[in-house]
């Protein structure tokens, strides 16, 4: 375990799904970071492996299910419930995660860390865990172009491009909000393919690790992970949701300079404010009983009547009911 002033340090890889978190995990492995004893094997979507701790991923998935926020589900982009940290389900999972980290740190030789994109939404919980264990987190944010991420998610998870971009925005802004000044570095996906050594040295510097004097072997091992075929779904100039393109540009700037631009903090605050303004509407709509709606017009396809059409009818009903309570102007 890495010790600085008597405090254990843990590397935590954050970022949206399909954003190069696995590639960063593979590089960290080559740099000597121990990523745990129970890693998820690769599959057809990620043949090189995910470099994710199976126990941590399983508990994250369970908590998202308990909170009705599974990331590919209909509420995956909504803020977590206001009282989520106090829920008994959260407390039970927190205890299990604490035991996993304590055991991994006990067994680890050298610096230990873990990677799971779902962590990006649970950072207040992890802050409590690290505080209880006396651990200092070393946060790294892996970033990839939102349209490339959306294209990958549309293909793999059958989500819409707009939903994928919104998830990209939420995951990255949650990290900026909850890590604040302790974010060690932003690691931009495309830079691996244009400046492998510069990016690797930036990661090493962010974590306070030594760079070997004879780095030929390290460079060769890193090059085996940074393969051109990983760069599929390259970014394009297609449609982007509000804030998405600007946020990505500022994150790329942060990756190069090592400093998070003030404009990025401003975007995070504006989006968070918008989420809070809409939270009440989302909760009211979701709580509305799903009574059988009237038959939709013949022009509406069945898939629409069971999904978007039904949601819009419920939204309209709630809006009309609220407006009817308003005094005449």
Tell me the per-residue pLDDT of 109-153, one tens digit each, with 9 for 90 and over: 889 999 999 999 999 999 999 999 999 999 999 999 999 999 999
Among 63-67, 173-177, 234-238, which is the least confidently predicted range?
A: 234-238
Residue 329 has pLDDT above 50, yes or no: no
The pLDDT, as a whole number, for residue 37 is: 76
Angle at 27 between CA 21 and CA 31, to 5 degrees: 135
Band (pLDDT 50/70/90 cuts) for residue 314 is low
Q: Is 115 helix (H, G, I), strand (E, B) or coil?
A: strand
The DSSP output letter for 75 is T
For the beta carbon of residue 143, count every other beta carbon within 10 angstroms: 28
* Nearest Cα residue to 19 out of 205, 139, 167: 167
The pLDDT, as a whole number, for residue 301 is: 40
Token pair belonging to 181: 């000044």
Rounded (10°) angle between helices 262-287 and 244-257:
140
* Nearest Cα residue to 84 out of 123, 141, 137: 123
Q: pLDDT tens digits, residue range 85-117?
A: 999 999 999 999 999 999 999 998 889 999 999
Token pair belonging to 79: 């803020």
**Pairwise CA distance, residues 137 & 182, whole Å:** 8
- H or E segment at 147? helix 146-157
Q: Architecture of 2-261 per CATH? A: 3-Layer(aba) Sandwich (3.40)
Q: Widest CA span of the chain, in angstroms?
A: 78
Q: Do the beta carbons of residue 114 and residue 28 sit within 8 Å?
A: no
**Pairwise CA distance, residues 143 & 146, whole Å:** 9
**Pairwise CA distance, residues 310 & 299, whole Å:** 15
Identify any residues that bridge with 112 across adjacent strands, giving them in sequence order.
Answer: 10, 34
* Nearest Cα residue to 173 out of 255, 271, 84, 250: 271
Average pLDDT value over all residues in the chain: 83
Scanning the structure block, which residue is given the tokens 């860390």? Answer: 113
The pLDDT, as a whole number, for residue 1 is: 37
Report helix, strand and coil shares of the chain as percent, to nearest 5. 55, 10, 30
Where in the chain are the domains? 2-261, 288-325
CA torsion, ordered 118, 122, 123, 127, to nearest 10 deg: -130
**Pairwise CA distance, residues 46 & 48, whole Å:** 6
């Amino acid at each position: 375990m890495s010790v600085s002033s008597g405090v254990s340090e843990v590397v935590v890889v954050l970022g949206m799904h399909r954003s190069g978190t696995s590639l960063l995990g593979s590089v960290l492995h080559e740099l000597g970071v121990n990523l745990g004893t129970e890693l998820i094997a690769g599959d057809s979507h990620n043949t090189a492996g995910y470099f994710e701790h199976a126990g941590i991923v399983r508990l994250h998935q369970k908590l998202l299910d308990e909170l009705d926020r599974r990331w590919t589900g209909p509420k995956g982009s909504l803020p977590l419930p206001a009282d989520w940290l106090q829920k008994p389900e959260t407390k039970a999972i927190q205890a299990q995660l604490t035991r996993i980290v304590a055991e991994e740190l006990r067994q680890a030789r050298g610096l230990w860390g873990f990677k799971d994109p779902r962590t990006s939404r649970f950072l207040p919980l992890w802050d409590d865990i690290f505080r209880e264990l006396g651990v200092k987190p070393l946060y790294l944010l892996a970033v990839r172009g939102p349209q490339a991420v959306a294209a990958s998610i549309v293909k793999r998870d059958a989500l819409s491009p707009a939903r994928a971009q919104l998830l990209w925005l939420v995951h990255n802004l949650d990290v900026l909000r909850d890590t604040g000044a302790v974010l060690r570095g932003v690691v931009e996906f495309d830079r691996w393919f244009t400046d492998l050594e510069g990016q690797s040295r930036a990661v090493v510097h962010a974590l306070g690790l030594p760079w070997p004097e004879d780095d030929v072997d390290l460079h060769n091992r890193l090059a085996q992970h940074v393969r051109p075929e990983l760069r599929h779904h390259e970014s394009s100039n297609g449609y982007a949701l509000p804030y998405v393109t600007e946020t990505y540009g500022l994150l790329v700037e942060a990756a190069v300079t090592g400093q998070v631009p003030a404009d990025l903090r401003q975007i995070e605050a504006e989006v968070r404010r918008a989420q809070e303004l809409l939270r009440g509407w989302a909760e009211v709509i979701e709580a509305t009983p799903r009574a059988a709606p009237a038959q939709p017009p013949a022009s509406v396809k069945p898939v629409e009547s069971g999904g978007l059409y039904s949601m819009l009818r419920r939204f309209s009903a709630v809006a009309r009911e609220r407006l009817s309570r308003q005094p005449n102007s």
